[in-house]
Structure 1
Amino acid sequence: MTTYRAGRKWRPATIGRIAAAVLLLVLAGAVVPTPAAGARAVEGLAACSTDPATPKRRLRAMWVASVANIDWPSKTGLSVSAQQAEFRSWLDLAAQKNMNAVVVQIRPTADSFWPSPYEPWSQWLTGTQGVNPGYDPLAFMVSEAHARNLEFHAWFNPYRIANHDDPTRLAATHPARQNPGWRFAYGGKLYYNPGIPAVRDFIEDAVMDAVTRYDLDGVHLDDYFYPYPVSGQTIPDASTYAQHGAGFGSIHDWRRNNVNLLVKELDQLIHTAKSWVSFGVSPFGIWRNSTTDPLGSRTSGMQSYDAIYADTRLWAKQGWVDYIAPQIYWHIGYSVADYEVLTAWWSAVVKDTDVQLLIGQAAYRAGASGEDPAWQRPGELTDHLYSNRQHPEITGDIFFSAKDVRANRISGVSRLVADHYSRPALIPVHGTSAAPSSPSITSATRVSNGVSLSWQHGGSDSPTSYAIYRVDGTPAMDPCSFADARNLLETTRGTSFTDTTAAATGTYTYYVTALERLQRESAPSTGQVVTGTGPFSVVVDNGDAGFTAGSAWGTSSFSSQRNGADYRFADPVAASDLAWFRADIPSAGSYRVEVWYPANSGYNSSTPFVVATGGGNQIVNVDQRINGGQWRGLGTFALPAGSRNVVGVSRWTSTGGYVIADAVRITKL
């Protein structure tokens, strides 16, 4: 046994919701100079109006699965540079979608993605178990994730040894081969026997080796505990029960206790070694059905309590996990296991505990061939997150898996991102700690591509990351500006940032806050004002965050006349179904509006462009068969100030051919 086992102790109970409220009070109190003003700020903060579409804190993550090369590496035997390039692309995808964490499988089949003294190198790296890949993947992955300020949660499968039942195919040094009494075969696979105390100690040691040696943000267990049932087969652990099951009324209670001990002891070990590391489990979505147990959910599916001996409700009630992320991989209205029934049930389970609730989302089902018709609806995933807003206990989502996030079938993921991930979000607060002191902005200057900011942190504490906020104009500091993410630009582990979204004519006030390992946030820095220069002009491309369109709008890069990487197209119909270009208009006045589109003889001869003016919508019809690949003026319009949809492209036209939405340019006169 390793030395960290000595003196195990329970970690302090977390106070996430209380701490979040305290943070807001500190934020308000720290930014006003007098008690009277401070009181007003606190009162104002309580009345802050927040937008549920731009929450301040959510954990947003995707699973990156390594077993069977599901996500990464895409195949075995890739060169070091190819493996690393692939992984960077997954992180870039997560950052592009405004996610803030990745959950990466580093112990898929009782082997490892780091030089573990306990288990051999994973076969999913080189194709042969035990062969060194030529670098330390875990050190690389953690470093690259943190460079993008993504939390890295290390995903461990506790008991699975192999997806086959032939121990001779394991590396000669594999502990399961050297200790045949530790394993059993079931359903064509090999598993460690959870009922053997030495096995539990060994698994904990293997996990803790990664925890103590690497800068992990989280430890994550999946849903595989005892094997999922196989018809006609019995788990071969009767002799183990006879040896270790004294005091239990049944083998089933004993099996559940074996898993309980693993979860409880890992919780203790992790937080004794590193109090800031989150410990979470992503179980099967159903604990028990209410027809079996009155405490269960109104469902009729497999019960993890009985089938795989995972008493997940107990873990949450006892606080043995920091977060629980049930895999609710069913659609809204599914009779066996309704998504909304289960999110409500799990919300009730964690209510009044310190355990955070994340939802495991089935990105792999959206638009996939052979799935239920409900999963062919482009809005199914986004509707899940709309439903989540009814439950304040839900603090985020994890999507399975990375390749399905990238595939974006039926535009299900892009629609979800547009509806819910339009702004960055901070990680939810966990654990107990003090907020760091405020940073100070040392430089805020206009540069060719935006506004360059630098800051420093003069306190004795050491923040992990920083959040950058931008408020339009030069208003007095208002705590409500920080109550949600509407003004949050970015988070970073560096001390500089360039705001490339800043309009040349815009006047802005910037603030920076500091965050520590448990995600408590400092009061904001003193605001720094950057004034605008030159005439206001903004270009909004269909690939920008300011563009939105329904599922009927396809994406193409066919024409070389396009603006940017691609453009959007749709068939004409007797319905508007507008694709909108949103812009932040700095002040009311006259603006020239221009559009860019690729031209083609097969495109529409009378595409309706809708300009939302101060006096109502005005429509300009454009022949998109000609004059493409350049800016074409729609006219001069009186536009009100504010961030809103300014130019739309309608599908409601009586002429044939695709209507095209590519880019718009708006310039103040």
Structure 2
Amino acid sequence: MSLRRLAASCLMALLLPLLSLPQAAAAAACTPDPATPKRQFRAMWVASVANIDWPSRSGLSAAAQQAEYRSWLDLAQRRNFNAVVVQIRPTADAFWPSGFEPWSQWLTGTQGGNPGYDPLAFMVAEAHARGLEFHAWFNPYRVANHDDASKLVATHPARQNPSWRFAYGGKLYYNPGIPAVRAFIQDAIMDAVSRYDVDGVHLDDYFYPYPVSGQAIPDSAAFSQYGGGFTNVGDWRRDNVNRLIQELGQRVRTAKPHATFGVSPFGIWRNAGSDPLGSQTSGLQSYDAIYADTRKWVKQGWIDYVTPQLYWHVGFAAADYSVLTAWWSEVVRGTAVQLYIGQAAYRAGASGQEAAWQRPEELSSHLTINRGHPEVLGDVYFSAKDVRDDRIGSITRLVADHYTKPALLPAHGSAAAPAAPSITAAVRGTGGVALSWQGSGGSYAVYRVGGSGPADACAFADARNLLKVTSATSFTDTTASASATYTYYVSALNRTHQESAPSAGKVVTGSGGPFSAVIDGPAAGSAWGTSAFSAQRHGADYRFASPQAVSDPAWFRATIPSAGDYRVEVWYPADPGYNSATPYIVATSTGNRTLTVDQRTGGGQWRLLGTFPLAAGTANVVGVSRWTSATGYVIADAVRITAAG
């Protein structure tokens, strides 16, 4: 193949992505905007151990604790997050009235001290009232951040059962190799899962303790007693953790079919130098160091999601963020396990961190890399106080680049979607447009489309028109312009986030109609002819050209009054001999978007290409290209551009 033909072939591949389209949509394909994904898990870890995040210190009054927690949820909402992961069992203790373990010392300052209310019930209810998922975070084996068992409350199970625990590295741990311990840990966790309306069960990266130089884990007696069938203590330890993961996952799914079970492991499973299945890294290997065979958990489907802690910057030699993101994407590919990435918000702008972490755009660049891996369905940030502190504006930058719109949570399971709701009222007032609806969903998504025309399927392909996800059956759109006309839609979501079809649209008129302009006839080069042959034409004539691999689009020039979203419609006469894949180019504010239209049918009417962000000013906005591999004339007739609100 000649270089010229090779270049033409490559450009054709870029210009003509042939995407499938629902029948209800126009002939052009939907192209979701990667900056406004429709579904994405967005959360922050709220750590309670050592009062890292919440409560900010032990001994606060119940009212003060509750006010602090509400402020974390307010922060999550401001940043367009849709979930929180809250640590409720940090050191073999409880943030709820447990029949298995004592009240956590991080609440009152005294282990076993009653805080005077039920924190877990409060936290779940407050999160759900804001449309946020609540994932209950448990540390499985850690008993205390010291190694003095006499400091534990007298009724603590680890004190009453000395054989269950060991000291290592200055801390106390439950021994994962003892079957009674494994059963007890599961029972303690399931007490919360069965009694509270949690959306997820989340384990962190602490399994066997991280290695301490010069110290050996004191579990030889347990290995002698329970290690039958294993000649290697490492394999036995991994089997102990495997059993916990597999058994706990089964119990969670049985007790709460809608809840997900996830793990947030250390970011490196094994290095390729040790295992050909490993990543091109050279860091600590969780498989060998803490006996966590996380890859197996994914491949066996024992967990519903995995959130590897990829706390390294792009280009870090030992563990490059981009390398590990690609590796974990490959691991989950072909499984039902969802992949979220653990992000190191605590490193951004912090003193003593590498130069890369002093760049405000470092975290944002991670999410840009994620876009290249469709397996990555979201991110979780450690931790809440670092999201709040927003050092060097890293979180503000990330939100501006990636979280400008809310997002639905990723769906899981196979439950049927609920029926479409119906909007019962849409009233414009001084405070905005007040909506109310009826439906059978557990939550609802509210969409706003500019103008009064029917919305095409592309209007719901991403989150560009999504206003709110709420558990309520009413919502006030305070961002509505008084002069604009809008059409509102509501869809219903079940507990596992399957979405119904949108409701019938409800039009709310404004004091002035939206901007709308018709451009009848483009500017085109000499290769484009002029014809009035078809009675389906718009106006007096239209332009036509034969397909050829050259870049000379016929451009429709328009004056856009202000930057914003605009509906772009096209008019062309149709003929069986015209082109089946005519490329239309829309010059959006974020780059050119190319969509193809079959001009053999559907002519003599306005056909919607979609809604696009356009920049203000006079410019070439829509072009018709003749660079197509299909045969037949390409037609450039008329374009209509209407403000979407």
Q: Aligned-pair distance for 1:249?
A: 2.5
Do structure 1's residue 290 and structure 2's residue 272 form an aligned pair?
A: yes
CA drift of 1:397 comes to: 0.1
State the partner residue of 2:509.
Answer: 531
Partners of 1:43 and 1:642 lie apart in 2 by 15
Structure 1 position 645, deviation (Å): 5.9
1:339 paired residue among 301, 308, 321: 321
1:40/1:534 Cα in 2 relative to 1: closer, same or farther (>3 Å)?
closer
Deviation at 1:44, TM superposition (A): 5.5
Of 248, 253, 256, which residue of structure 2 is paired with 1:274?
256
**C-alpha contact (below 8 Å) 2:485/2:513 kept by paired residues:** no
* Superposition deviation, residue 166 in structure 1: 0.3
- Pair 335,587 (structure 1): closer, same or farther in 2 beyond 3 Å: closer
Q: Distance in 2 between matches of 1:582 and 1:313?
A: 50
Is 1:492 aligned to 2:470, yes or no? Answer: yes
Measure the CA separation in 1 of the matches of 2:141 and 2:88.
Answer: 14
Cα offset, 1:642, TM superposition: 8.1
The letter for the 2-side match of 1:365 is: R
Q: Quick one: structure 1 residues 384 and 585, their matched pair in 2 at CA, closer, same or farther if it must change by over 3 Å?
A: closer
Distance 1:299 1:526, change over 3 A: same
Is the counterpart of residue 479 in structure 1 residue 457 in structure 2? yes
- Asked whether 1:416 is paired with 2:388, we answer no
2:432 is matched by which residue type in structure 1?
Answer: G
Aligned match of 2:620: none
**Matched residues in 2 for 1:346 and 1:194: separation?**
26
After TM superposition, give the deviation of residue 476 of structure 1 in Å.
Answer: 1.8
Does the CA-based 8 Å contact 2:449-2:455 persist in structure 1?
no
Summarize deviations over 1:152-195 as a string: whole Å, max 9, x none: 00000000000000001111110000101100000000000000
Code of the residue aligned with 1:486 in structure 2: it is R
What is the DSSP-based 3-state SS (H/G/I as helix, E as strand, rest coil) of the residue aligned with 2:86? strand
Contact 1:111/1:119, CA 8 A, preserved across alignment: yes
Written as runs of structure 1 = structure 2, the 5 A alignment for 1:229-628 is: 229-457=211-439, 462-533=440-511, 584=564
Give the SS at the match of 1:41.
Answer: coil
| Distance in structure 2 (CA, Å) of the matches to 1:341 and 1:586 | 38
How far is the alpha carbon of 1:42 from its aligned partner? 7.0
Distance change >3 Å, CA 586–CA 480, structure 1 → 2: closer
Question: Between the two proteins, what is the percent identity of the paired residues?
Answer: 69
Output the CA distance in 1 between the equivalents of 2:337 and 2:26: 29
Alignment of 1:45-194 (within 5 A): 47-194=29-176
Note the C-alpha offset of 1:585: 8.2
Secondary structure at the aligned position of 1:441 is classed as: strand
Change (3 A) 1:42 1:507: closer
Q: For residues 402 and 286 of structure 1, what CA distance do their matches in structure 2 show?
A: 24
- CA 1:286/1:130 → structure 2, altered by over 3 Å: closer, same or farther? same
Counterpart of 1:149 in structure 2: which amino acid? G
Instruction: State the AA in 1 paired with 2:479.
Output: T
* Residues 80 and 536 of structure 1: CA distance in aligned 2, closer, same or farther (over 3 Å): farther
Return the alpha-carbon distance in structure 2 between the equivalents of residues 487 and 68 of structure 1. 42
> Could you tell me whether the CA contact under 8 Å between 2:484 and 2:512 is conserved in 1?
no
> Is the contact between residue 454 and residue 505 of structure 2 (CA under 8 Å) also seen in structure 1?
no
Instruction: State yes or no: 1:41 paired with 2:19.
Output: no
Letter of the 1:470 partner, please give it. Answer: R
Distance in 2 between the 1:401 and 1:476 partners?
A: 43
The Cα offsets for residues 586-617 of structure 1, whole Å up to 9 and x where unpaired, read as 899xxxxxxxxxxxxxxxxxxxxxxxxx9xxx
CA distance in 1, matches of 2:513, 2:60: 51
Separation in 2 of the partners of 1:186 and 1:43? 65
Secondary structure in structure 1 of the residue aligned to 2:241: helix
Superposition deviation, residue 534 in structure 1: 5.9
Specify the SS of the correspondent of 2:72: helix
For residues 35-65 of structure 1, give each alpha carbon's deviation from its aligned partner in whole angstroms, at most 9, with x where no partner exists. xxxx6237859x2111000000000000000
Partner SS state of residue 487, structure 2? strand
Amino acid at match of 1:480: C
- Alignment CA distance shift 1:519-1:536 (3 Å): closer
- Consecutive unaligned residues in structure 2, runs of 5 or more: 1-18, 516-560, 569-588, 590-610, 618-645
**Could you give the per-residue CA deviations for residues 556-601 of structure 1, whole angstroms, max 9, x where no partner exists?**
xxxxxxxxxxxxxxxxxxxxxxxxx98548899xxxxxxxxxxxxx
CA deviations on 1:84-112 (whole Å, 9 max, x unpaired) are 00000000000000000000000000000
Q: CA deviation at 1:519?
A: 0.3
Q: Rg bigger for which structure?
A: 2
1:364-390 CA-partner distances (Å, limit 9, x unpaired): 000000000010011100000000001
Distance in 2 of aligned mates of 1:111 and 1:370: 33
**Any idea what the Cα deviations from partners look like across 1:444-480, whole Å, max 9, x if unmatched?**
01011110000001xxxx4210000000001223111
Cα distance in 1 between the residues matched to 2:62 and 2:448: 40
Count of aligned pairs between the two proteins: 513
CA distance in 2: counterparts of 1:643 and 1:49, whole angstroms:
13
Paired residues for 1:627-638 under 5 Å: none
Letter in 1 for 2:363: L
What is the CA–CA distance in structure 2 between the aligned matches of 1:359 and 1:328, rounded to whole Å?
7
| Equivalent position SS for 2:45 | strand
Moved more, 472-481 or 411-420: 472-481
CA deviations over 1:538-569 (Å, ceiling 9, x no partner):
xxxxxxxxxxxxxxxxxxxxxxxxxxxxxxxx
Give the Å deviation of 1:488.
0.2
**How far did residue 644 of structure 1 move?**
5.2
| 2:70 partner letter | R
For residues 407 and 465 of structure 1, what CA distance do their matches in structure 2 show?
A: 31
TM-score (ref. length: structure 1): 0.75
Q: Are the counterparts in 2 of residues 504 and 532 from structure 1 also a CA contact under 8 Å?
A: yes
Q: Could you say what secondary structure the match of 1:270 adopts? A: helix
Q: CA deviation at 1:248?
A: 1.0
8 Å contact from structure 1 (residues 582, 643) kept in 2 = no
Quick one: distance in 2 between partners of 1:332 and 1:387? 9
Once residues 284 and 337 of structure 1 are traced to their aligned partners in structure 2, the CA distance between those partners, rounded to angstroms, is 12
Q: 1:79 & 1:69 partners in 2: Cα distance?
A: 14
**How far apart, in 1, do the equivalents of 2:565 and 2:411 lie?**
35
Distance (whole Å) between structure 2 residues aligned to residue 267 and residue 235 of structure 1 = 27
* Aligned partner of residue 210 in structure 1, secondary structure: helix
Q: Would you say the 8 A contact 1:504–1:535 is kept in 2?
A: no
Residue identity matched to 2:23: R
